[in-house]
């Protein structure tokens, strides 16, 4: 199974891709503001740890409950119009909440309702965006497009958005939410300005229901060896990531005695590594091929996790986090690209939703497992547990990513044509 794009140029910024990129990056910036501000706002309203944690948990729950439904709807509708409508509605909801905060009417219940509503809408937006991208970018440039999207989102969300929250909150508790509403509005304008026509789809059978269409997408996923392997690998590695993220602060502060400054350094190492991975991905794929890049990324991340679990000092841990972030970006870009190119266009939203739903579900499960082993065996154990899940993830990929299997969906199975970009 090949997958290099050595002869492909990067996607053009002008036209559809540039606008989609701008909308995605603006949304990530606003999401980072809101995600950081929600628990801080909750902590100002209550000192009950369970209620504060519930606000964050409600940001994950809709993916598990509505993720597959969002994918099915994304395959039914004009994705461009759906994304614009979703962002306009999210702008309205966030602006209304900002007004409530400014007037002193905020409550934990309102915070939870906002988190549930915005993430439920996000299940449609994200699945539609994944399905729309191949209609804007030729297949041979899809990897570069995904790398630019993910790198831009990492910069906007991780390096720019979250650090600004304390400054914005100093201007007023409602300010981060007001800025978030503006980013949603700007993203909606960019998306609705796309001139790309919706991909053609075959007519739905008489009596077709969302439930049957979800089942059809799952059947396509289960029947394709490549998609099945990619999905299993995604689920397994996200359990490992959940175990690492939930206990990293314990590893740094208790295991290494490095304190909050050490924790910040570890997170910075991860972010910088991710940005470098996005920048280097195209050259790496051109040199060794897309599927080998995925396998190398999983193997290198496994090694980085082992180093984290045995690190003797903060410098070693930060270096391992940088490698983990670098290869994590390579993994994410190329597994997403392989999924997009291998999946028939008519069911891409549903297949993408299955990937995301399993990924989100794996995080809380991994967090619980990581907390349990940290309590039983110490703070250095969760990275080693995560390494075990990454070994299983790479093992799931090896039979799926055979060099004899084509990257793209078989032409006979492709039920939609590419719209002009």
Lowest mean pLDDT segment, chosen from 188-192, 208-212, 317-321: 208-212
DSSP-derived secondary structure for 302-324: HHHHHHHHH--SHHHHHHHHHHH
Residue with tokens 């399905």: 131
Q: What is the pLDDT of residue 318?
A: 94
Lowest mean pLDDT segment, chosen from 196-200, 262-266, 343-347: 196-200
Distance, CA of 116 to CA of 392 (rounded, Å)? 33
Distance, CA of 337 to CA of 341 (rounded, Å)? 6
The 10s digit of each residue's pLDDT in 336-378 is: 999 888 888 888 888 888 888 888 888 888 888 888 888 899 8
Q: Name the most confidently modeled range: 228-237, 294-303, 396-405.
A: 294-303
**Residue 405 above 60 pLDDT?**
no
Residue 209 token pair: 């229901």
CB 285 within 8 A of CB 140: no
CB 266 within 8 A of CB 321: yes
Mean pLDDT for the stretch of residues 199-221 = 76
Mean pLDDT for the stretch of residues 103-109 = 88
Mean pLDDT for the stretch of residues 111-136 = 85
Q: What is the pLDDT of residue 384?
A: 96
Q: What is the DSSP letter of 58?
A: T
Query: Greater confidence, 76 or 396?
Result: 396
Query: Greater confidence, 316 or 357?
Result: 316
Lowest mean pLDDT segment, chosen from 42-46, 292-296, 332-336: 42-46
Count, residues in the chain: 421
Lowest mean pLDDT segment, chosen from 18-22, 132-136, 207-211, 351-355: 207-211
Q: What is the pLDDT of residue 142?
A: 82
**Residue 59 above 80 pLDDT?**
no
Mean pLDDT for the stretch of residues 54-58 = 72
Mean pLDDT for the stretch of residues 401-417 = 51
Q: What is the pLDDT of residue 201?
A: 60
Q: How many CA atoms lie within 13 A of 187 on its CB side?
A: 31
CB 188 within 8 A of CB 88: yes
The 10s digit of each residue's pLDDT in 240-254 is: 998 898 888 888 888
**Residue 276 above 90 pLDDT?**
yes
Assign 123 a pLDDT band (cuts: 50, 70, 90): confident
Q: What is the pLDDT of residue 148?
A: 86
Lowest mean pLDDT segment, chosen from 14-18, 284-288, 390-394: 14-18
Q: What is the pLDDT of residue 418?
A: 35
**Residue 80 above 70 pLDDT?**
yes
Query: Greater confidence, 103 or 208?
Result: 103
The domains of the chain, with CATH numbers, are 13-195 (1.20.1250.20), 209-406 (1.20.1250.20)
| Percent of residues, the chain, with pLDDT higher than 70 | 87
Distance, CA of 338 to CA of 126 (rounded, Å)? 17
Q: What is the pLDDT of residue 265?
A: 86
| Percent of residues, the chain, with pLDDT higher than 90 | 25
pTM for the whole structure: 0.76
Picking from 41, 66, 69, the residue whose alpha carbon sits closest to that of residue 55 is 41
């Amino acid at each position: 199974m090949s997958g290099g794009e050595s002869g492909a140029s990067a996607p053009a910024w002008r036209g559809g891709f540039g606008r989609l990129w701008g909308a995605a990056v603006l949304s990530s910036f606003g999401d980072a503001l809101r995600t950081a501000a929600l628990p801080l706002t909750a902590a100002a309203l209550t000192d009950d740890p369970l209620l504060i944690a519930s606000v964050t948990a409600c940001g994950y729950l809709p993916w598990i409950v509505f993720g597959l439904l969002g994918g099915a709807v994304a395959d039914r509708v004009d994705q461009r119009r759906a994304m614009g409508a979703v962002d306009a509605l999210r702008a309205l909801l966030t602006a209304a909440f900002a007004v409530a905060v400014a007037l002193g009417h905020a409550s934990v219940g309102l915070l939870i309702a906002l988190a549930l509503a915005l993430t439920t809408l996000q299940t449609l937006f994200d699945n539609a965006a994944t399905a729309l991208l191949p209609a804007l970018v030729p297949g041979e440039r899809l990897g570069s497009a995904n790398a630019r999207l993910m790198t831009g989102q990492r910069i906007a969300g991780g390096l720019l958005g979250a650090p600004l929250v304390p400054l914005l909150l100093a201007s007023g508790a409602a300010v981060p939410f007001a800025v978030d509403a503006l980013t949603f509005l700007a993203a909606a304008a960019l998306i609705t300005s796309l001139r790309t026509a919706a991909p053609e789809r075959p007519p739905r059978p008489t009596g077709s229901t969302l439930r049957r269409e979800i089942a059809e997408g799952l059947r396509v996923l289960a029947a394709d060896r490549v998609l099945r392997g990619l999905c299993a690998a995604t689920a397994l590695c996200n359990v490992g990531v959940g175990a690492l993220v939930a206990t990293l602060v314990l590893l740094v502060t208790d295991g290494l005695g490095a304190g909050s400054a050490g924790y910040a350094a570890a997170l910075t190492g991860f972010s910088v590594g991710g940005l470098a991975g996005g920048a280097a991905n195209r050259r790496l794929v051109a040199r060794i091929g897309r599927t080998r890049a995925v396998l190398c990324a999983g193997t290198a991340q496994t090694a980085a996790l082992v180093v984290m679990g045995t690190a003797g000092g903060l410098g070693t841990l930060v270096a391992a986090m940088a490698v983990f972030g670098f290869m994590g970006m390579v993994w994410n870009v190329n597994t997403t690209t392989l999924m997009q190119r291998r999946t028939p266009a008519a069911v891409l939203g549903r297949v993408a939703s299955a990937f995301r739903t399993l990924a989100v579900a794996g995080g809380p499960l991994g967090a619980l497992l990581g907390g349990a082993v940290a309590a039983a065996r110490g703070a250095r154990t969760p990275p080693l547990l995560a390494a075990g899940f990454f070994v299983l993830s790479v093992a799931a990929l090896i039979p799926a990513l055979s060099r004899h299997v084509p990257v793209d969906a078989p032409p006979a199975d492709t039920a939609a044509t590419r719209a002009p970009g």
